[in-house]
Structure 1
Amino acid sequence: MRNFIYIVTVFCFCFAAFSQQNEEKFKNNTTISNRLEKNEVEADEELESNQAVGLEGSELQAFESAKNEFKFQYQLLHKQAAKKSFSSEEQKVLNQQLAVMGEYGKSTFEYNFFTYLAGNYDTANFQFLEKAAFLAPNNPEVWEEMLAYYHIIGNTAKENEFLKLLEKKNVYDASLLAYAEDVLISAQGGILLTHGEKDTYPLLLAKKKLGLEAEIINIDFLTSKTYREALAQKNFVLPEGAFVNTVYVKMFLSLNKERQLQVAMTLPSDYLSLLDQQLSTKGLTYSYAQPLNVKENEKIWKSLYKSILSKEDQMAQRLSANYIPLLKVLYKAEKNLSAKEAYKQKVEAILQGINREDQLNKLLEIEE
């Protein structure tokens, strides 16, 4: 059953120097949110105004070529399903493009932002992100990176500042936010391992909105030495080495199994398949190294908002499939025939939304 859920539910969204005058202007600036309130320039206009100003001919062509190659390579690396760290060769490719960009456009948004991205959450490179944020304060990608930085260093006030910006500008789909609230309810009081931006930042928004306690550990952030050190301060045991991949994550869970960790259902199957025998359904998460608790799942089901199940947009239909493991647990345990039929109908409705009606009997283990 779980292999089917992997197929239909995994939605891993895997997406410069200043003049002295600008440096002083930046130092005198208060917060990005204040700049945004005062200056509602659209992000695209800002980016255009900061692209390799003064370059032309072969120099502009070289800058644009390096910029596009970096974007292409970074997206390939960032979306890899089985690892988060860059190999030395992969890092070399990124650095080569940055060197070309730096030769012609160190004052650009792209050079600064890409230099920070190439560091893979290295907090020592924050100066580049700061400069990128000054050049493009309305860019949602910058907000996400600023949010990640402040989350990693544990600055809750600044983290909330960027959560507020992301919420105000409706960066995330309403169905994704609704799903995140139900995931957070499933993980309240626990520790949840997540993957990627769209798997994590909506949860931070839900945490802020609902006021529920839940420790969220993002696999991406584990590439940051600062983040790993912060986890160690919280008495988490870290695997040896710093190369974050499926094996590292499996080891992290094993070393900390006494903490009763939970795993987001939206982790790529490369991670989940390594853990399959140690996972049990707990609401909209998988509990690691813990026995299935039907009573707890019944309680979670009653506490969920479940608003996403009444939505018909594509995002809602995709994410609604993650309710099936929980519904299967409830269906199999239910003795009342009418209640059992109600669970079956909910599963059937979800499957119809994703054109998998033929899987109903197999999923619920109903003999035909």
Structure 2
Amino acid sequence: MSESREPSMVRAEAVVDLAAIRHNVATLRSRLASAQLMTVVKADGYGHGMVPVARAARQAGADWIGAAVLEEALALRAAGDNGPIFCWLTTPGEPLEQAIAEGIDLSAGAPWEIDEIAAGVEDRPARVHLKIDTGMSRGGAVPEEWPTLLRAALAEEKSGRIEITGIWSHLASSDEPKSPINEAQVATFLSAIEVAESLGVDPPMRHLANSGGTLALPETHFDLVRPGIATYGLSPFGHALPSAELGLRPAMTLRARLAMVKRVPAGAGVSYGLTWTAPAPSTLGLIPLGYGDGLPRHASNGAPVQVRGERRTVVGRICMDQCVVNLEDGSAEAGDEVVLFGPGDNGEPTADDWADAAQTINYEIVTRLGSRVPRRYVDSEEVTG
């Protein structure tokens, strides 16, 4: 029998380890006393692939799947996910009928949302989570308007058009667990629950925690937690508390093949604007990925990559389709693999390293990866187990 070999990469690919997704979901579940877990797969699973991630998360015991927008939630249903799904971001006039008919839980943070949800009801009541703004000033009803939202929801519940299934909010500073903002938000959330109960609203799901809350703030767990970035093995705390210390495994590796290798003399400028000049005769490699694929242009002249086991640096401006790596005096040739980021197990850069180079967060590095980069799914447990 012939030996099984890894598929050949032509230009570039993002390799996603579904075993890492399952591991991370299980790790997050182990942090919970009794709360259920929602795996958030918005923005195409933070760039990892929404449907494969959702399936892996369900296999690992995720009770809920979270989607930001309607088309994501409906795509999950179309892919065969029949479990609880929560969708929280809609705008006036969106067609809600199908989501309601398919049992997708929706969010409402203002009376007009209650009205629109109720108007979309046909054969079954809509399942609705009411959102309180606990201090992030994004979605949800501010405390002064919370009773008005509750009464609007109660009126539609009595009519049989909606079922109030949750009260929820979102943490603004859970990436800083010691911030007093977290304590203030919990207090506001508890106050909102008390107001709801005084009016006769007592739904089964109260939820506040995101990844940071799940990992570091057990007082935010309530009945359900909603980790996003931690599902993908990336720490919400960055280098302050790395993934490995949290027991998480980064799931994505971004790699490419060098399109060209050339020797340039001292003084040669590189890429648009010639913002980097070779200080000595240097070997340069051309990486066939650029900001059109999702690489942050702000990481120009500083992003790390790995070639032939060595850390190297992107020099010159990152272009739409390509960028240049300084190989210094190292040997390489066209076709050699270059790892832009991965788990870091073999010395390769991580998404956090790229985030540092671009002065952003690891969320953005993986999420912005474009559709021009094919995703390839592997299961390291099948390989090693």
TM normalised by structure 1 equals: 0.26
Q: Which has the larger share of helix?
A: 1
Larger radius of gyration: 2
TM normalised by structure 2 equals: 0.26
